[in-house]
Structure formats: C-alpha cells, structure tokens
Copies of this chain bind each other. A is one copy, B any other.
Amino acid sequence: MAVSKSELQRRIQAFSDACSRKGLRVTHQRMEVFWALAVSDAHPDAESVYQRVRSRVTGISRDTVYRTLATLESKGLIRKAAALGGSARYDANMANHHHFVCTACGLIKDFSSKVLDDLPIPKTVESFGRIDASQVQVRGVCVSCAKRKPKKRRRSPK
C-alpha cells in the first residue's frame, strides 16, 4: 500500500463523484474494483483484482471485473500499464527507437529522436534493479481510426 488512508479516502470519493458526473452508476462492485486498484501500487492484472475483490464481495464474477476495468479505462478513470493489447507484439528493429501506439486499433509506428534516445532516468530508478533499456511510448489515436469513427480493435495491421 503506497497511498495514505486519507489520500485513499479522497481518491475513492473523487472516483464516486466522477462516476456520477460521467453517467456511470455507483455500484458496490464498481467501487470495490476501484478500491482494489487504488489501494495498491502493484499494477495488478484483472485476475488479481478479482481475487482481492472477491474476499470482500462474495459472488462477484470475473466478467464484472474485466468489464469494469475496461469501462473505467475507457472513461479515463484508470489506465492500462505497458500492455495495450491482448497479444504480444514483436519488433525486429533493434536500433534505438520509440513507439507511437494507437489505443483504438493497436497500430504501432516507429519514430526516432536523438534526444529521446538518451533520457535522464532518475537515480531512484536504479534502486529498483538493473536498467537494460528505456524508451518512450506515445499513446494516441491514429489518423485512420480518427476518421472512421469507433470500430473494433483489429489484429496487428498487415
């Protein structure tokens, strides 16, 4: 647990308000899912959230946890870390470069930048472990997704 009790209280209240404001019903399950996420800094996956919530809300279904996490992310109330899609994406380009990722279709575009290649990583990070590499990830919506309205996420293009 990284956040203080009072800060947690504040975030949960703010979350409840945000739900109301955005037209999302403030359900018991929804609050518990958010709590499970906000109480920790471990960036849990859906299954971990499910297990944690289940100890407080008997009978909650996995589907509710998955659905709630997806809903909250789409409303900008929580974020996905690192993994943006369900399947791993590979890259044969080992040269130092960075990525633009479309959050709508999963498109990944490369870009280069001398400046970004040598980022000033804070010394505190070194205490976490050995650093192998660092790169910038830019998230957004690609031009083709921007025009053709919503659409489903597709498999990696081509």
Contact = CB atoms under 8 A, between A and B. Distances in A.
Main secondary structure of the interface of A (DSSP, over half): mixed
Interface residues of A, number: 78
Given A83-B84, A99-B82, A141-B130, A155 B92 contact: no
Contacts of A57: none
A7 to B, nearest CB: 11
A43 B90 contact: yes
A129 B106 CA distance: 12
25 contacts: A11-B92, A34-B92, A38-B92, A41-B93, A43-B89, A45-B85, A48-B156, A76-B94, A79-B92, A79-B94, A102-B128, A102-B129, A111-B125, A112-B122, A115-B119, A119-B119, A125-B138, A128-B142, A129-B140, A129-B146, A130-B140, A130-B141, A131-B139, A134-B136, A136-B136
